[in-house]
Amino acid sequence: MAETAIPHSQPWIAQDELQAVADVLRSGRLAQGPCADRFERGLAAFIGRRGGVAVTSGTVALELALRALQIGPGDEVILPSYVCAAPWLAIQHVGAQARLVDIDPDTFNIDPQHVRKAVTGKTRAIIVPHLFGLPADLTELQAIGVPLIEDCAQTLGALERGRQAGSVGTLTVCSFYATKLLCTGEGGMVLSDDEALLERVRALRRYDEDPSLDPTASNYKMTDLQAAIGLCQLHRLPTFLSRRRDIAAAYDRALIGRRGVLPQVPAGRTHVYYRFVIRLAETSPSDEVVPAFIARLERAGVHCRRPVFRPLHGYLKMDGYPNSELVYQCAVSIPLYPSLTDEAVAHILTVLREELG
Ligand SMILES: *Cc1c(COP(=O)(O)O)cnc(C)c1O
């Protein structure tokens, strides 16, 4: 048993962030201001988009992306069944119809073949989460010809055929929740190359100074305290990502050939390992396999998690999503974050080698 358990995730906050927050506090300008502007420009440049609009959360960013496309009642939006509830909730908030589709069990991402079958005359957008750090098949999804909303809450800095995840869709959303690749506590952003769409998002994020008094507008502004943290994190993001890749490579080397399926990276894509998700080898998957594995690792001082708490078809009691169901029953996320020490990595591997034979 380890002295102190290794958490499943942990932000990396350094002296920079402490200083930056103190500077904002001393400036007397605490709400949205110059730091938010710089954070928007900085992240847009990193992803390769013309602009960004910083908001209070990733969930709000998804909702505002849908509203910017003027999606509402009578419209359909496609999304994968294997994802957290946020994209589904955003679709409910705008009053559109959510159409769930199954995933590719090897990449955990939305399967373009299933998307094609789900498109109808009412389909107005596809929400494309790039899950766990691996971009979805943007090339195939783009070929469908429906606007894509890329959900980059879990993937920044990864490539699909040489293109940055987040640089392809009509709109892109990010989350800066405490566990994400780049964190501000809570926060989100909508990015795009289309200035008219960005301007619509800006108008929805404030309640005043808009001649039309749009009833769907509200107060969704990010504070400069958060944006100051975001700027520091963005500056260190390349370091974070390279440490993540190194840890993932160590896990891969140590675990290859053992029981369980390691993260797959299809040709033409790169992975930034927001999560290191393994599929336990199970001849008879059930709802009990993953909790039992997690409990054994916890006793050994390693906190693992189900990477998606419950797939949407599970919440909604819908059948017909066999790949999502299989992945839900087998997938476990192993701790992987840049502040993880070499000693912690070694301990995790010792425990995993015992578990995976
Ligand atoms: C975290 C997350 C969200 C929601 O972001 P919040 O900032 O927590 O609201 C949306 N989509 C995905 C894929 C996420 O991982």
Convert the pLDDT of each residue in 187-243 to its tens digit.
999 999 999 999 999 999 999 888 888 999 999 999 999 999 999 999 999 999 999
The pLDDT of residue 1 is 46
Residue 11 pLDDT > 50? yes
The pLDDT of residue 212 is 83
Residue 126's closest CA among 108, 109, 106? 109
The pLDDT of residue 281 is 85
Mutate to test the pocket of ligand 1, among 55, 56, 57, 59 (most ligand atoms within 8 A of CB): 59
Mutate to test the pocket of ligand 1, among 103, 177, 181, 333 (most ligand atoms within 8 A of CB): 177
DSSP state of 3: S
> Residue range 89-116: average pLDDT?
98
Q: Which ligand 1 atom sits closest to the C-alpha of 179?
A: 1
**Which residues, in sequence order, are CB contacts of 62 under 8 Å at separation 6+?**
86, 87, 90, 127, 149, 151, 173
pTM: 0.97
Task: Provide DSSP, 118-150.
Answer: H--TTEEEEEEE-GGG----HHHHHHT-S-EEE
Burial of 283 (0-12, 13-18, 19+ CB in 10 A): exposed
> Residue range 114-127: average pLDDT?
98
Ligand 1 neighbours (beta carbon < 6 A)? 57-59, 83-84, 86-87, 129, 151, 153-154, 175, 177, 188
Mutate to test the pocket of ligand 1, among 62, 154, 155, 277 (most ligand atoms within 8 A of CB): 154
Nearest CA to ligand 1 atom 14: 153
> Residue range 62-81: average pLDDT?
98
User: What is the Cα Rg of the chain in Å?
Assistant: 20
The number of residues in the chain equals 357
